[in-house]
Structure 1
Amino acid sequence: MSPRKRNEAASQCLLPLEEGDPSEERLQSLVARVSDEALVHLLQYGYAIVDNALPGELCATLRQELDTLLEQGQMWDSQSYSLNEGALHHNICETTLDYLEARAHAPTFAEIEKDQGLLRTLRRLPALRGLSMQHLRLQVNRGNGGCYTMHTDSGVSEPDRADAVQVLRATALFYLNEGWQEEHGGELRLYPYPLPPVRIAPLSGRLVLFEPRMVHEVLPNFHKRYCFTLWCATSMTSSAASSTFLNVETMTDFEAASSACINFRRSLGTLSPQLESVPSPLRSLFFSEVRPLLVRYVFRDCELQSACRSHDAGPQKDLMLQGISQYHQKMKELNPAWFRLLLELLPSAATEPVRAHDRGRVGPSELARLVTQHCPWWEHSPDAAAC
């Protein structure tokens, strides 16, 4: 099927937009700006870019509130992992509205956190029909080379008193940087493997949507940089979450990770017979859960560089870099050399056209196309089966 026909088929799967009360939604422009084309791109490639998602006046108000939060001591220094465990990300401060008295200093952000416009829009994708809540994270990067290491956002929250957890299903990153220029830096780099990395400028009013399992990083920044994130989640019991979310990111054996995915899908009755027929270890390419592992191997030098330049010097940083290096070495030891070489070829091959004399044979470019076409970033829900 041609890309155009795939886009048309995907567009037909979009659900009608739910009705909402515009008077209760601060982000009214989102409903109009997030087009069908953006949602289709999000579904097929795992990310989408929406320019002018926020009007300039709103961006200015939000920048002012972020400056106030910083001045009033309502932000903390960003760290890898949780507080008191990881190395500091230098020159980056973050906060949530529940931190200290942050909510009182950020009334517009408080309105945004309650806004349902984005959730209603994303629920047009059948795979995201269960979105029911969002969590706001605010960030200021002071500059001076401040950057954020390669990571994913995926995860399940700790259960509350009612045994309910939040399963993160979509990341929405909003930029507020008026007059951004290339020398300012601070671009977002996404890794939509097997496609090559994508570098995205943090322009004011721009919204970047992506699947939380997609590896991403913030490149060195040399000018004050403002952004905020809405993490969109599904609420369910902890037992239900364990049967819908599989985390294999700590594994180093690609085939073992694939086997875990196969067993997981088989237990749910969602395993495709075609997927079972894909030979090992090639099948690891067709599981979205395994993609972060593949990215960390293929771009291992980038990960080390990213971790090194984004953190303050100290014993915690040294331990982190040592752990990353050991992780990469285990991947090298446990996976066949020919397959590791193939993995490294795919991003560049993905942009090459399939040559006529290659038709009938599956080379790197054709393999990258097959993975992109048949391995969606979001698993189809039962409601999306017809798509």
Structure 2
Amino acid sequence: MTTHSHALSFAGFDTATIDIEHFISHGYVIVPNFLERQHCLDLYHYAVDLPPPAWQQAGIGRAENYTTNTAVRQDRIRWLNSDAPYENAYLQLMDQLRTLINRELFMGLFDYECHLAHYPPGAFYRKHLDAFKGRSNRILTTVFYLNPEWQEHDGGQLVIYGDRGQVLETVLPEAGKLVLFLSDVFVHEVLTGLRDRYSITGWYRLNASVSGIVDPTR
């Protein structure tokens, strides 16, 4: 795997690309070019170069209710941490976004956790909700796509549903695109893809810690 500099950082995003008014009105927003193309490629190649032991089978549920179920989701994940330069650069960028959201929307977002997700060909994630009202401190979900040259026929779209089950958005997972949505509002799914698909999924959370331990644990 390629060696990377510990001084790595990504240029700050352009705040004008984030339609705050759309988020206020709809509870979600899609940002087509959140990060510069070269940074997207760097993250993509970093993910592709990770050795198999760096990944784990994704599961469903939290804490003592956590289990793996490949009939529901089939991706493999890697939780990001600040010790890895590329991962830290992305975490720092998303902290800048947290500051912007708190300043503009007064959401009181406290911290952020995220993981790389790899969907091999044929993988999917069935309809689900990221948080249930009153049972999680996950407030805002982020999905950032890494694959260059992704086409409609490659599949792997993110489908976001409304409260009556209607399709609100079908999002093509193109490199540089960021999706933000309220975690306890929107049921969504990842359709089956025909190529290896890489993304970073994360959650901004409220401060619901006890004795310094953030709850719920992942």
Given the two structures, how large is their TM-score scaled by the length of structure 1? 0.47
**Residues 1:125 and 1:60: Cα distance change in structure 2 (over 3 Å):** same
Name the structure where strand makes up a greater proportion of residues.
Answer: 2
SS at match of 1:153: coil
Residue number among 197, 201, 211 corresponding to 1:225 in the alignment: 197
Which residue of structure 1 aligns with residue 3 of structure 2? Answer: none
State the number of aligned residues.
198
Which residue of structure 2 aligns with residue 31 of structure 1? Answer: 15
Q: Is 1:117 matched with 2:100?
A: no
**Percent identity for Structure 1 against Structure 2:** 25
**Residues 1:234 and 1:25: Cα distance change in structure 2 (over 3 Å):** farther
Give the Å deviation of 1:79.
2.5
Which residue of structure 2 aligns with residue 8 of structure 1? Answer: none
Letter in 2 for 1:122: I
Give the Å deviation of 1:85.
2.6
- Whether the 8 Å CA contact 1:27–1:112 is kept in 2: the answer is no
Residue number among 34, 47, 71 corresponding to 1:66 in the alignment: 47
SS at match of 1:54: coil
- Measure the CA separation in 2 of the matches of 1:132 and 1:60: 29
Letter in 2 for 1:153: D
Matched ranges for 1:270-349 at <5 A: none
Greater displacement, 110-119 / 40-49? 110-119
Give the Å deviation of 1:152.
1.2
- Measure the CA separation in 1 of the matches of 2:14 and 2:132: 26
* CA distances 1:330-360 after superposition (whole Å, capped 9, x unpaired): xxxxxxxxxxxxxxxxxxxxxxxxxxxxxxx
SS at match of 1:221: coil
Name the structure where helix makes up a greater proportion of residues.
Answer: 1
* CA distances 1:243-290 after superposition (whole Å, capped 9, x unpaired): xxxxxxxxxxxxxxxxxxxxxxxxxxxxxxxxxxxxxxxxxxxxxxxx
- Measure the CA separation in 1 of the matches of 2:75 and 2:55: 10
Give the Å deviation of 1:125.
3.9
Query: What is the alpha-carbon root mean square deviation over aligned residues?
Result: 2.8
Q: Is 1:206 matched with 2:177?
A: yes
Give the Å deviation of 1:126.
3.2
Q: Is 1:43 matched with 2:24?
A: yes
Letter in 1 for 2:177: R
- Whether the 8 Å CA contact 2:79–2:116 is kept in 1: the answer is yes
- Whether the 8 Å CA contact 1:31–1:117 is kept in 2: the answer is no
- Measure the CA separation in 2 of the matches of 1:182 and 1:26: 28
Higher relative contact order (CA 8 A, sep 6+): 2
- Whether the 8 Å CA contact 1:46–1:210 is kept in 2: the answer is yes
Which residue of structure 1 aligns with residue 78 of structure 2? Answer: 95
Give the Å deviation of 1:86.
3.4
- Whether the 8 Å CA contact 2:10–2:39 is kept in 1: the answer is no
The structure with the larger Rg is 1
Which residue of structure 2 aligns with residue 107 of structure 1? Answer: 85
SS at match of 1:28: coil
Given the two structures, how large is their TM-score scaled by the length of structure 2? 0.79
**Residues 1:85 and 1:91: Cα distance change in structure 2 (over 3 Å):** closer
Give the Å deviation of 1:84.
6.7
- Whether the 8 Å CA contact 1:90–1:147 is kept in 2: the answer is yes
- Measure the CA separation in 1 of the matches of 2:21 and 2:52: 42
Unaligned runs of 5+ in 2: 1-6, 211-218
Which residue of structure 1 aligns with residue 105 of structure 2? Answer: 126
Matched ranges for 1:147-186 at <5 A: 147-154=124-131, 167-186=137-156
Letter in 2 for 1:132: F
- Measure the CA separation in 1 of the matches of 2:30 and 2:68: 31
* CA distances 1:66-94 after superposition (whole Å, capped 9, x unpaired): 1232x241111122335873312565210
SS at match of 1:199: strand
- Whether the 8 Å CA contact 1:51–1:207 is kept in 2: the answer is yes
Unaligned runs of 5+ in 1: 1-22, 159-165, 239-387
SS at match of 1:178: coil
Which residue of structure 2 aligns with residue 75 of structure 1? Answer: 55
Which residue of structure 2 aligns with residue 188 of structure 1? Answer: 158
